[in-house]
Each structure stands twice: as C-alpha cells, then as structure tokens.
Amino acid sequence: MKERDFTVSGMSCTACAARVEKAARSVSGVQEAHVNLVTGVLHVVCEGEAGAQEIIRAVEGYGYGAQEKRQTAREERRDGKRGWCVAASVGLLIPLVILHHMQSAEWVQAALAVEIALLNFGFFTRGIRTLAQRDPGMDALVAMGSGVALADGLAHLVMGLGGSVFLESAGMILTFVSVGKWLEARATRRAGRAVEKLNRLLPETATVLRDGGQVSVPTAQLQPGDCLLVRPGDRIPADGLVLEGISAADESTLTGESMPVEKRVGADVYAGSVNLHGTLRVRVTQPQEQSALSGVIRLVSNAAAQKAPVARLADRVARVFVPGVLVTACVTAGVWLACGAAWDTAVARAVAVLVVSCPCALGLATPVAIMVGAGKGAEWGILFRSGEALEAAGRASCVALDKTGTLTAGSPQVTDVRPRGCTREELLDVAVTLERDTNHPLARAVVACGRQPKGEARAVQYLPGRGVRGVIGEKPCAIGNAALMRESGVEVQEEREWADRGKTVLYVARGRDWLGSVAVADVARENASAAVRRLTEDGLRTVMITGDQAVTARAIAAAVGVQEVYASSMPQDKERLVRELQSRGERVAMVGDGVNDAPALTRADVGIAIETGTDIAVESAGIILMRSDPMDIPRALSLSRAILSKIRQNLFWAFFYNVLMIPLAAGVFYPAFGWVLHPALAAAAMGLSSLCVVTNALRLRHFRA
C-alpha cells in the first residue's frame, strides 16, 4: 500500500470534498481517500497499480484541478493568478455599476459583464459538470444564479426589450463570490499555518560526509546510513544517532519542552530540532518521510480530514441541500409569477435564492476549527490523531489514569535515608559500593542518590528477591530486605511506616552492625497533583487503574488526589474496568504509556498516550502527549472542549444563516415588511457567512489553557 497527497483546486464546500473523494475512490486500486478542505489536500491510500495520473484525471473529470503535492511554487503561482482575477473582476465591476446607475452604454455593460464571467469561468465549468453528473454543489448554484442573470440581461438587450438590470447583478454575483472565496482562502491558510511552520523546520539541504569531504545534499534525498555534519545553530535535517561530539538540542518544536536536551555519542536526535552548541556527526536512521517531525505533520494535517462525528450532520444536510435549493428557487419563481409579478422580479428572487444558499459556511464549520485547534495543540506538544479523538476528548466525563509512567516518573528514586549509628554519607557509601555494578532498578536508584565511593566491593553476590552481598575492605556487607538481614545475622527494626506508604525498604549492614535504612519508591511526577486537581475542578471524575500493589497505588492516589483506585489490574482487567465505567454512562478518557495499557486505551472513548511510552501504547491512542507533563492531560481535554464549542458555534450560525436568508431571498417577508434581497447582496451575504465561520475558528489560535 502507498500513500499519496494531491493538491486539489476549485473546492469550496463539503459537497465539493465529497465529490473529489468519490472521484478518487472510483480509480482501481484506491482503498481510501480523504480530503482536507482546509488545506485543499487529497490524501489517498492505494495499491501499487493505482497511478497518480489516473487519480488526477478522475478528479479533473469532476471539474477540479489536481496535481501531486510536491512543489509549493506552483501552488503560489495559482494563488497569485486567483488574486489577479479577483482584482480584475473588481476593476471591471466598478464601471459596470456606475454605468448601470447612469442607465447608459448598455452594450458596454454587457461587455464588462461578459468579461467578468470569463474571468470567473471556473464556476461555470465545475457547476455544469456537477449538474451533468447529477451531483450539484456550490459552483452549480453560483453558475445558475449568475448565468440566469447574465442570459436574461443579454436577452433583454439583444431583443430590444429594454432594461438590462441583470447584467449588473451577474457581474456583482460573480465578483462578490470570487472576493469572498479569495478572502476565505486567505483566512483558511492562516488556519493551516501550524502545518506550514512545521514544514519549514526542515532545512532544504544537509551537509553529508563522503569520501573524506563534505557534500551539500537536498534533505529529501537523505537515506539511512548517511553521515551528517551538524554545526552549532543548524537545524538537524533528519532523525539520527550521534556518532561524535557533545552538544545540546532544542527539541521544543517536537515536544513543547523548552529546556535543551543534552546530546552525546549514542543519543538520538530528531529532524527539525536545533543543535545549540557543539558540532555533531550524526548517522541518519530514518528517511525524511518516516521522521518524528513528519509524523507530527501528518497527524496535524490529517486531523481535519478525518471527520468528527459532529460533522456528519453537516455532511448529511449538504448531500440534500443543493438539490433542495434548486427546487426552492424554481418554486420561488413560480409563486412570484403566479402572484402576478413581472418576469424580472421572479427571476431576481430565484437568483437570490440560488446565490444566498451556497453551503460553504456549513462545509467549513468543522474542518477549519479542527485544523486551528490541532495546530494549537501541536505547539503544546499535544497531537490529535483524528477528529473523532478530538470530539471524544471534548465530551469526556471520566479520566482513567495509569500510575507508573503517567502519574509517576516510572523509575524508582530514593525518598528517605535513615542512618543508625553512622553518618548519612557512610551509609550511602556502603550502599553505592555494593550496588554500582548491579543493573536492578532499585540499585540504579541507590547509585543515583549517593556520591562516587572511594572503596571497591569484592565477591559481590546478587541474591534475587533479597538483595546484594559483598566484601568492602575486610568486612562483609549487605544491602537488601529484612530476610537478607536475618540470613546475615543482623538484627534490624522494620521500617513499617515506609512500607505502609508503599515504599520499598532496603536495609544496609556491615558485618553484624545495622548501619541504617534506605526507602525507594516510584514518586509522583511534579505536576501530577495539580493535574488531578485541574481535572476535578473541570468536573471530571478521576480514577486510577494500575497493575501495582494496592498499598503503593493508594499511597500515590492519596499524594495526587485521586479518589477511586483499582490496583493489581492485569491488561484485561484494565480493559474490563473501562467497559464497566462506560456501562455506567461515563465517557472515558484513558491515559497510559505501557503495553499493558493498550487494551484499555483502545476500549476507551479516547485513549491518551504519553509519547515516552511504548510504541504499542502510542499506536493504540487517539491523542499523543509529546511531553511527560501530567498537566498536558487537562490541557488536551480543555482544548478539545474549546474546539468542540467552536464547531457547535459555527454549525449553529451556518444553519441559522440559511434558515434566515433563504426565506428573505425568496421574498417570504415581502408581503408583511416589504423586505427583499437583491441578488448582489445575496452574493455578499454568502461570502460574509463563510468568512465569519473561518474567523470564529481562528480565535482558537489565542486559546489559553
């Protein structure tokens, strides 16, 4: 299977996106096709035999432009041409309106109106094709509205019937819609700037070491095994492994973490991060398209392409909306004619209905909000895999938390040292001397706590489940649990208060003398209690589900403020507990980082994985937290709620706009209030509605959690 991206031009609403997806899926070998209406990108998953040209021809058959997404220069040229057409349309419209109000030079008016139509001929080509395929959309409405107005005006002029009112209306409709689409496109591009910024993080070229020299190579051509030279201040062009040098890297673009990360020989480095100090030699380990940064870009870009459930209502409405508008326009013209109105008046009402009803705002309501919100999340190191995950997070009522690696650091640390008849330094010297050649997690915690000892341990024995014995100087020494002390003939007083708080107690002895005790535990992360408190304040129920023993689990829960604890849970138990919570009516967000969390992450309404966790946990989750900060959990959920709120607002205003404007355009309010909507004003109102929806979504860029 291959994945391909295509830049599609001419799309303006959900119906357009649906037609492009339908066209792509009609090509043999294409398995999936998703359109991101915000970025104008068609993402296709296909078998090897599905060629790019076949997909492009299929999309072009529906009246849209398509090309493989490679060069941005061509896109920029297309955007420049669109801007020139808009400016020319406005320039021609001004004298057209002036001449219309002067009621003079009607043939000049006709020439100006026709020229505007030719500049915006794309509306007609796409509209006619979609009508021919019995799948009309926004372009069909604009084409029919402006086309009827233009044809009627020309007919009046050619046949000498007098009055060319619709020549001016045709020009205004096309110009206003064109200006609205151009402004909308500019605003929508602002929504996708997070992706553009991420794309710009990769340098265009990299310095590769070959045959004893340095060669400048395009970043896209780097392959695993290439040796790179990365100087201070340079962006690292590819994921790789440090072969030589010492430096620090700014990885904030990937993790959201502002503190530099030290890089030595053997350390991993990531594309897009900045080498701060020393010169590094790096061996490339991943091609560009498989780098961590490319993964982030794909997640942010595809979040809006994968429709959220809340958007399905808009899709269902859009499917029947345009045919319904065409029928409404015909009925409107018929009713006005039946009531004795003039032909010009009936046509004006029908044209206004056609133009004002374009469902652009409805189509943009969801994807723009998701794109802006997903980009904002990426700035914080919060990645949404899909619109479904984003919506589920926004609706969550219960947060189930794993303990180890999520609320805690995931590795033991020395929390207490209690000497008995010696100094703290002497106690730790003995403990570190015995443990420094042992790879046990408890041993690593002890070694990290003490200083570098002066002596050496001989005849060291690792005793599984009990501890370590050895000889320091001429004295036998030991560190371990109470059972080991009894075996060694050392009398100790058990540290019950430490054990009751879920800590592992290590006793240290020299000869038959008890030197003291060391407590080791996996402690709560710095912001864990603040994160749980924030979740509770937001009205969310918090539950801890952990495979650890009950004593330890209750101790951590008490420390961070979680009220409900399920301990000693196997992976299948975690999944069952999530199901039980869901059966009680809870919408569950499960947070975890290990293989044992994967079933629960998949079962939950939305899984939230810590990026530093295992690959299977990350792949099972809908949201990925690039940092190990527990505060990112309430941040992700609050951002999801804000995005969901913006989607609802946009959908409400899009529906409300059509409910209000269609009757106004049809003249429903004319008998009672004398209100009618000029076709040109209908075009302006349609463009304004789309712009308002996009602008409302852009407010998410200033969201603060």
Which sequence spans correspond to the domains of the chain? 2-70, 223-286, 382-409+525-626, 413-521
Q: How far apart are CA 532 and CA 540, in angstroms?
A: 9
SS3 of 312, please?
helix
Residues 394-421: tens digit of each pLDDT: 999 999 998 887 888 877 889 999 999 7
According to the model, what pLDDT value does residue 190 have? 56
**Helix H or strand E encompassing 140:** helix 138-158
Q: Which of 139, 239, 250, 402 is catalytic?
A: 402
Q: What is the pLDDT of residues 112-155, one digit of tens each?
A: 988 988 888 888 887 787 777 776 666 777 777 778 778 877 87
Q: What is the pLDDT, as a whole number, of residue 72?
A: 45
- What would the pLDDT profile of 540-563 be if each residue is shown by its tens digit? 999 999 887 788 888 889 889 998
Of 686, 676, 684, the C-alpha closest to 347 is: 676
Helix axes 138-158, 679-698, angle to 10 degrees: 160
% of the chain residues with pLDDT over 90: 21
Place of tokens 């208060």: 497
What is the average pLDDT score of the chain? 81
Burial class (CB in 10 A: 0-12, 13-18, 19+), 571: middle
- At residue 206, φ and ψ (nearest 5 deg) are -135, 150
Tally the residues of the chain.
705
**In the prediction, which pLDDT does 19 show?**
81
Do the beta carbons of residue 515 and residue 426 sit within 8 Å? Answer: yes
Q: Which candidate, 596, 598, 604, 597, places its Cα nearest to that of 578?
A: 604
Mode of pairing for the β-strands spanning 541-545 and 398-401: parallel
Does position 41 have pLDDT exceeding 50, yes or no? yes
The pLDDT value recorded for residue 192 is 55
The DSSP H or E segment spanning 389 is: helix 387-395
Average pLDDT over residues 235-256: 82
Residues 486, 492, 496: CA angle, nearest 5 degrees:
110
Q: Is the pLDDT of residue 482 over 50?
A: yes
Q: What is the CATH number of domain 2-70?
A: 3.30.70.100
The answer to whether the beta carbons of residues 225 and 286 sit under 8 Å apart is no
Average pLDDT over residues 649-654: 82
Confidence (pLDDT) at 148: 77
Active site residue 402: yes
Asked whether residue 313 carries a pLDDT value surpassing 80, the answer given is: no
User: Each residue of 547-603: pLDDT tens digit?
Assistant: 877 888 888 898 899 989 998 887 788 889 999 999 999 999 999 876 678 788 888
What is the rounded CA–CA span in Å between residue 354 and residue 44?
33
| pLDDT of res. 253 | 61
Angle between helices 14-25 and 309-338 (to 10 degrees): 110
**Cα–Cα distance between 565 and 405 in angstroms, integer?**
16
What tokens does 435 get?
């443990």
Provide CATH code, domain 223-286.
2.70.150.10
Whether the pLDDT of residue 517 is over 50: the answer is yes
Q: Quick one: which H or E segment has residue 398?
A: strand 398-401
CA distance to 157, 172, 217, 349, 613, per residue, from 678 (Å):
21, 10, 59, 8, 60
**Of the listed ranges 30-44, 323-337, 375-389, 664-678, the one predicted with least confidence:** 30-44
**Average pLDDT for 380-386:** 83
CA 103 – CA 484 distance, rounded (Å): 107
The yes-or-no verdict on residue 185 having pLDDT over 70 is no
pLDDT attached to residue 531: 94
Does domain 413-521 fall under CATH 1.10.3720.10? My reply is: no
Q: Which carries the bigger pLDDT value, residue 184 or residue 427?
A: 427
Q: Does 242 score more than 50 pLDDT?
A: yes
Q: Are strands 413-419 and 398-401 parallel, antiparallel or unpaired?
A: unpaired
Q: List the strands of the sheet with 30-36, edge to edge.
A: 30-36, 41-46, 2-9, 65-68
Strands lying side by side in the sheet with 227-230:
213-218, 205-210, 227-230, 280-284, 240-244, 268-269
Task: Considering only residues 48 and 148, tell me which one the structure prediction assigns the higher pLDDT.
Answer: 148
CATH architecture under which domain 382-409+525-626 falls: 3-Layer(aba) Sandwich (3.40)
**Residue 15: pLDDT above 70?**
no
Residue 459 has pLDDT above 50, yes or no: yes
Question: Mean pLDDT throughout 259-281?
Answer: 85
